[in-house]
Structure 1
Amino acid sequence: MIEVARYLSVNRIAYFSMEVGIRQEMHTYSGGLGLLAGDAARSAADLDLPMVFVTLASREGSIKQQIDADGNQIDGPDPWNPEEWATPVGAMVAVQIEGRQVWIRPWLYELKSARGPQVPVLLLDTNVPENDPRDRIITNRLYFGDQKDRIKQEVVLGVGGVRVLRALGFTIDTYHLNEGHAAFLSLALLDHHRLNRIPGIPEPFDYDVHAVREKCVFTTHTPVEAGHDRFSYDDVRAIVGDLIELDQLKLLAGPDHLNMTQLALNLSRYANGVARRHAETAQKMFPAYPIRTVTNGAHVPTWMHPAIADLFKTLAPHWAYELEDLLKADQVPDEALWAAHQQAKRELVDLVRDTTGVAMDPDVPVIGFARRMTGYKRPDLLFHDIERLRAIAGRRPFQVVMAGKAHPRDFEGKAMIRSIHAHMRSIKDIPMAFLPNYSIAIAKRLVAGSDVWLNNPVPPLEASGTSGMKAAFNGVLNFSVLDGWWLEGWVEGVTGWSIGSDGSDPSPEAHAAAMYAKLESTVLPLYHEDRARWIWMMKQTIAKIGAVFNSARMMRRYATEAYLRA
């Protein structure tokens, strides 16, 4: 265990997440939750925080997306080899699943900051020869299978993760549960905190719940009811047995189903939402628990295009670790910023041509839209009124680039992808493209090379959203419904524009009408007719958003408000 020995005396905070977006070649992420965790790890390394990250190895990734001629998403595995990027750690632990002993091997990936510090990322893998073939596949595919498969994965993450840390010699003071997927770890901790009962004195719990609560903090990411895992107690007992007695578990996780969010809330001393509006929504969903706010952030050095980053090096050599220096964006010469942006845009145009065959003009504005393809995010809203859209483009041309995956069982999301492709085929006078198999590499091209970043979910169902932050780091202007983080970052006509107003009619008809009106009257005229003002707004968005909505600020807040205790 020499690989982890250097961390044992300092890593007091363990961050558990089903997915962590570490790098393009390691398919250990599905979408925004994993990319956020990856940015948290990068900033933890930058700040030299005493942390260890725990996730699943996910050897077959999540989804490798292909699009057929009719616009149908074809799902497949997206394999990678842990052997090429991580080191096997010389210890294995076991958990009980369906009465079988399931062995878990951890892999170590050391995520290094350019400043020098690094944080360990442990990847949990059940694909080992000692396991039954049924169990070797548990950690292979992220979010794959049915509810029973999900229970198995979450037990490996939560219970297995705690046991791995103990076996390796880590002493953990604080466990951070990134979403409810990790809540089984709290049961593993409970098992080590049994109370010595006094005969004849009734107590609700046989465990020291307070001791476990003192160790756990919990971040909830979804205001969508269906996004909170609920499992049948019969399935849980059949798969994992009695981690704790059923009557005790029901007191913590709900009387009818095991609600992973309720379990996490009951066994955490601190809980937060990921934007102010999301925390308000979560507080209404869980009124018995105080929900704080730590607004998400993204890792600026990762997501800012190198050509734009180079401009700041001349102003402030250490800007990447002193992000307040982004407030100096107004000192960047207009011509230099525009040239750097056009370089990023040409790279996006080249990617679109090489991937889809669609030719785009770098002198015409590009509207970018990329996120998980699902109903509440309304990826097809732009096409609500095709004739209106074409009329707007006829007066002031624009181009559209989209990307995103639907979950294999999200048939509504898949139908939206099919509909978007049908619209793109039918609209001949507006250059449009859909980039398949959305990934970190594609995201970097899109958030840097677009001119306008479009976001139009149904409010208040956007928890936070970080893609718009990444776009803003590159001077790309946000055009978004007032939800999630944008309610905090939006300054009309300065950092971008709103679609509708806060609390206005959220119907697709109302939001589409507001989007078309502002696109036609404000956004496109500014790009085509007042380049100086457009560049001024680019500088404003880099300064006002980059200096605030970054993962360094996020991790500092977690460290001082959630991890440290009086």
Structure 2
Amino acid sequence: MKFKHPYKFGKGYEKPVAYFSMEFAIDQPLKIYSGGLGFLAGSHMRSAFDLKQNMIGIGMLWKYGYYDQVRKHNNELDALWQERHYNFLEDTGIELEVHVNEHPVKVKVFYLAPKVFGTAPIFLLSTDHPENDYLAQTITHKLYDNNVSTRIAQYILLGIGGAKLLEAIGHKVDQYHFNEAHALPAAFRLMEKLGDIEKVKDQVVFTTHTPVKAGNEVNDPIMLHKMGFFNGFSVREVEDMVGFENGMFNHTLAALRMSKISNAVSKKHCEVSKDMWGGFDGICDIIPITNAQNKAYWTDKELEKAHAKKDDKKFIKRKKDLKQEFFDFVSDQTGKILDPNVLTIVWARRFAGYKRADLIARDVERFERLLNNKDYPVQIIWAGKPYPLDHGAVSTFNWLVHFTRKYHNATILTGYELGLSALMKKGSDVWLNNPRIPLEASGTSGMTAAMNGSLNFSTNDGWILEFGEHGKNGFVIPEVDTSLSEGEQDQHDADHMMRILEDEIVPMYYQKQDEWVAMNYQSMDDVDEYFKASRMADEYYKKLYNI
């Protein structure tokens, strides 16, 4: 197969780029994503297509996806791994071979054409090949497998397999873009071809996402070498190339040392990343390119028309209709019928400890007063997929299952994927986001909520620092002193959250509808100005690829 890009390139976007990512959230049927990293990659691929950029995506075809979030008999969370088969992916017939742990592994290649979902072309790699033994086939079974050896094999497949794919289809690219460090073995494949670390750096750019040092993967270089991660280079050669820290290979640090330039995913995250890595020698520059989302994919067209005409009556009616559509889904899943006339707060994102899903319920008495206010009622809905082996996050999810059972106007949903995410953004009035600062790199879900007339209510972290103006386009919890203990920080944020809800958000929604709608318009205008993925995709070319 000789690959030919299926569209003519836009001006300034001619340089050929390969974008490597472990996950792509493209559309609801294609279940090869887990969370924010994939949502970003999906919006990027859509906007690359809109702008006609000379880009292709390289990812993995996960046989069982991430996991299907289902329930046990008592409504607690359960994980289902179900085989996926897609008639819209084209089997290219290309077969590659990648060596993993001194064994040859056969790789099949599938193609997602731009016409299917409106994206740049995407190639997906699979080890579901009849000539592979079962162990080799499991490499592409589950996204983010908890077995370390399997995960390293996935990185080898994405990186070296992706680089070999480019050779097999005769597609020469000038720029390798790694969305996180997973595809790093591709840099060692480039090193084999180019023989010069400086030439490798010229061709590699890197997006870092994780603002916590502990979240950046570190492995034993001897194990990585044996598995084939370094593409045949010896441990000593790799140490000379990128250095080790305390004898260990730090994936993010190596990516920063093998790239010409790197970007963080918000201005604040850029500061945090420079603090994290600035003390290490040999790293490339880190610049901010704030995440964004594809407006055409996420926004309700009728709501957007009412906003454009500043037609309050149509805007309010459409918002209530969208709430009803969402509540039909809620009642079907939970048996609770909600009211579209009632102020509805949504907390929906990946369940992780620092995101504090249960913070609003920290003071149960105050939470109940909020829910049980007869004059100004409130509804609250949670959703989100924890990593199945993050027992703390799963425990929080299950606690909320039992906690919300007794309230007629509070509930928690399963199946938080692209489809439900869109329903929740369109059907919420307030999008609650309360990570412990400064641990949220970007947190893009609030962008698409704002595009659909849902007001952000957030701690001042990630992208909100560049967007949020308290009382103008949303509500921002005052920043806490991060030197305090976690318990004191949580108490501070919970107190301010409830105060703002009781004194500002709830009264405004019920007593000052004109102000509420005006704030929605302002929020939609502000998010449109800077947080569309077309701006982000353009900045990647201007600030990373074309420099």
Give the TM-score, by structure 2 length.
0.93
**Partner secondary structure for residue 30 of structure 2:** coil
Aligned equivalent of 1:412: 392
Aligned equivalent of 1:531: 513
**Partner secondary structure for residue 178 of structure 2:** strand
Within 2, Cα distance between the matches of 1:476 and 1:8? 37
Question: Would the alpha carbon gap of residues 253 and 449 (structure 1) be closer, same or farther in structure 2, given more than 3 Å must change?
Answer: farther
Aligned equivalent of 1:147: 148
Structure 2 unaligned blocks of 5 or more:
none
Contact 1:482/1:502 (<8 A) preserved: no
Q: What are the within-5 Å matches in structure 2 for residues 126-165 of structure 1?
A: 126-165=127-166
How many percent of aligned residue pairs carry the same amino acid? 32
Aligned equivalent of 1:278: 269
Question: Would the alpha carbon gap of residues 96 and 298 (structure 1) be closer, same or farther in structure 2, given more than 3 Å must change?
Answer: same
Contact 2:334/2:411 (<8 A) preserved: yes
Q: Aligned residues, how many?
A: 530
Greater displacement, 62-71 / 378-387: 62-71
Contact 1:500/1:515 (<8 A) preserved: no
Q: What are the within-5 Å matches in structure 2 for residues 45-194 of structure 1?
A: 45-82=49-86, 84-112=87-115, 119-194=120-195
**Partner secondary structure for residue 214 of structure 1:** helix
Identify the match of residue 287 of structure 2 among 292, 295, 302: 292
Within 2, Cα distance between the matches of 1:168 and 1:226? 38
Identify the match of residue 229 of structure 1 among 181, 197, 217: 217
Deviation of residue 234 (structure 1)?
2.8
Deviation of residue 250 (structure 1)?
2.2
Identify the match of residue 299 of structure 2 among 281, 300, 304: 304
CA RMSD of aligned residues (A): 1.9
For residues 461-508 of structure 1, the C-alpha deviation after alignment (integer angstroms, 9 at most, x for no partner) is 000011100000011100000000001110111110011236576711
**Partner secondary structure for residue 139 of structure 2:** coil
Deviation of residue 11 (structure 1)?
7.1
Identify the match of residue 452 of structure 2 among 466, 474, 480: 474
Deviation of residue 65 (structure 1)?
1.1
Within 1, Cα distance between the matches of 2:273 and 2:404? 37
Aligned equivalent of 2:401: 421
Deviation of residue 217 (structure 1)?
0.7
For residues 401-426 of structure 1, the C-alpha deviation after alignment (integer angstroms, 9 at most, x for no partner) is 11111112101101111111121124
Identify the match of residue 216 of structure 1 among 181, 204, 229: 204
Contact 2:2/2:170 (<8 A) preserved: no
Greater displacement, 85-94 / 162-171: 85-94
Within 2, Cα distance between the matches of 1:538 and 1:235? 53
Check if 1:377 corresponds to 2:355.
Answer: yes
Greater displacement, 477-486 / 230-239: 230-239
Aligned equivalent of 1:40: 44
Aligned equivalent of 1:403: 383
One-letter amino acid of the structure 1 residue matched with residue 24 of structure 2: V
One-letter amino acid of the structure 1 residue matched with residue 522 of structure 2: Q
Deviation of residue 79 (structure 1)?
3.0
Give the TM-score, by structure 1 length.
0.90
Within 2, Cα distance between the matches of 1:59 and 1:3? 25
Contact 1:45/1:113 (<8 A) preserved: no
Aligned equivalent of 2:29: 25
Deviation of residue 347 (structure 1)?
0.7
Contact 2:405/2:411 (<8 A) preserved: no
One-letter amino acid of the structure 2 residue matched with residue 121 of structure 1: I
Contact 1:71/1:417 (<8 A) preserved: no
Deviation of residue 149 (structure 1)?
0.8
Identify the match of residue 497 of structure 2 among 494, 511, 515: 515
Check if 1:350 corresponds to 2:354.
Answer: no
One-letter amino acid of the structure 1 residue matched with residue 47 of structure 2: S
Contact 1:45/1:112 (<8 A) preserved: no
**Partner secondary structure for residue 22 of structure 1:** coil
Deviation of residue 335 (structure 1)?
0.8
Within 2, Cα distance between the matches of 1:338 and 1:5? 44
Within 2, Cα distance between the matches of 1:277 and 1:503? 16
